[in-house]
Amino acid sequence: MTASSRHTEMSHPPGDRGGRKQQDIGGRLQFMQLDANSCASIRTLKSLVERELPVGLDKFYAQLRQSPEVKRFFSSEEHIARAKGAQMGHWTNISNGDFGDDYVQKIRTIGTVHARIGLEPQWYIGGYAIILDHLITAAVEQNYGKGGMFSKPAMKTGDFAKALASLVKAVMLDMDLAISVYIDEAEIAKKRLRRRRSSPSADWYAAVSARPWPRSLPRM
């Protein structure tokens, strides 16, 4: 099945709580002009992504280890290794230009996990900035070689530009979807608050929902 044939409205995973906004992947892809050609274009960078993603992730996690605000989310190096492994798995879909159901379920889980631990979008977006920095730099170096822009490129400039631009669009889609989950979670928390106004725990929920993003919301 092609990616585009599965660009339908996302299905809610089992156990998903009601009331969430439908995430119209097809509409998003269409608006950002990430079409079948763009997805094919992303695939031309697949081997580069496979080779360079671990290096980009190492740079990201090196930065994370130096930043107490985000290092605190990890209990050990093994914990970091697990998150890194999960991130690599998610990138398989991205570098395949595959934004079908499997991809959507994964990004939904990522958003939910991040929202539950209280990771603000600032850090998620910042993390992506480091990863993308590495991937783009590595791709330009690979295409134009050490001789810079004047040596013979491996891919035609137009094709290469399209591939890079499509990859950036894919990352933006990813951020949009993950952050939409945060917004959904915040709405769910507000609804819970309304329902529980009369209960003794209402004050606690009021304190949590008054903050800009859901932080460490418990499973209900």
Which residues contribute to the site for ligand HEM (CB under 6 A)? Answer: 64, 70, 73-74, 79, 82-83, 86-87, 90, 109-110, 113-114, 117, 119, 123-124, 127-128
> Got the DSSP string for 121-136?
HHHHHHHHHHHHHHHH
Q: How far is the CB of 75 from ligand HEM (least distance, A)?
A: 8
User: Based on CB atoms, which residue is closest to ligand HEM, 27 or 85?
Assistant: 85
> 24 - beta bridge partners?
9
- Alpha-carbon distance 114 to 33, whole Å? 28
10 Å CB burial of residue 197 (0-12, 13-18, 19+) is: exposed
Q: Do 101 and 26 meet the contact criterion of CB atoms below 8 Å apart?
A: no
3-state secondary structure (DSSP) of residue 174: helix
Q: How far is the CB of 173 from ligand HEM (least distance, A)?
A: 12
Q: How far is the CB of 169 from ligand HEM (least distance, A)?
A: 15
User: Based on CB atoms, which residue is closest to ligand HEM, 122 or 201?
Assistant: 122
User: Based on CB atoms, which residue is closest to ligand HEM, 94 or 193?
Assistant: 94
Q: How many CA atoms lie within 13 A of 158 on its CB side?
A: 0
Q: How far is the CB of 158 from ligand HEM (least distance, A)?
A: 29
Q: How far is CA 93 from the centre of its chain?
A: 11
User: Based on CB atoms, which residue is closest to ligand HEM, 100 or 127?
Assistant: 127
User: Based on CB atoms, which residue is closest to ligand HEM, 173 or 186?
Assistant: 173
Q: How far is the CB of 11 from ligand HEM (least distance, A)?
A: 17
Q: Is residue 205 left, alpha or beta, with left meaning phi > 0 and alpha meaning psi from -120 to 50?
A: alpha
